[in-house]
Amino acid sequence: MSKKIEMADEERRLMEMNVCATCRFWMRYTAQDKGPFFEIAEGTGECRRNPPVLDDRAHKFQSTEDAAGCAQWPVTWDGHWCGQHQPRLPTAGDVA
């Protein structure tokens, strides 16, 4: 079985569950999201259900540009879950 088919099967399985991957507030990381200080693990993303949290460095910066880099959303695995799941609406690109 090819990796692409395995991924489609895994995504179908996750879609049947109330997990991060199927939540409207979750944003999956892509290769373009890679930063200079971290690697992107496959199957991770950000929960955007609530506003980002500022880390302890934010108050030390004098510009909003620098402080904005301290804003972080919780990072989760696609199979994680919480009590605030809301189903993602299907898009034109979804596999049937």
Tell me how many domains the chain contains.
Answer: 1
Residues 6+ apart with CB under 8 A from 2: none
Q: Is residue 22 part of a domain?
A: yes
Q: Is 39 part of any domain?
A: no
CA distance 14 to 6: 12
pLDDT tens-place string over residues 24-55: 999 999 888 776 667 788 899 999 999 998 87
38 inside domain: no
pLDDT score for 7: 62
Query: Has residue 75 been placed in a domain?
Result: yes
36 lies in a domain?
no
Domain that holds residue 19: 1-26+44-85
| The two structure tokens encoding residue 3 | 């990796």
Over the stretch 3-13, which tens digit does the pLDDT of each residue have?
666 667 776 66
What is the distance between the alpha carbons of residues 80 and 66, in angstroms, rounded to a whole number?
31
Q: Are strands 75-77 and 71-72 parallel, antiparallel or unpaired?
A: unpaired
pTM over 0.75: no
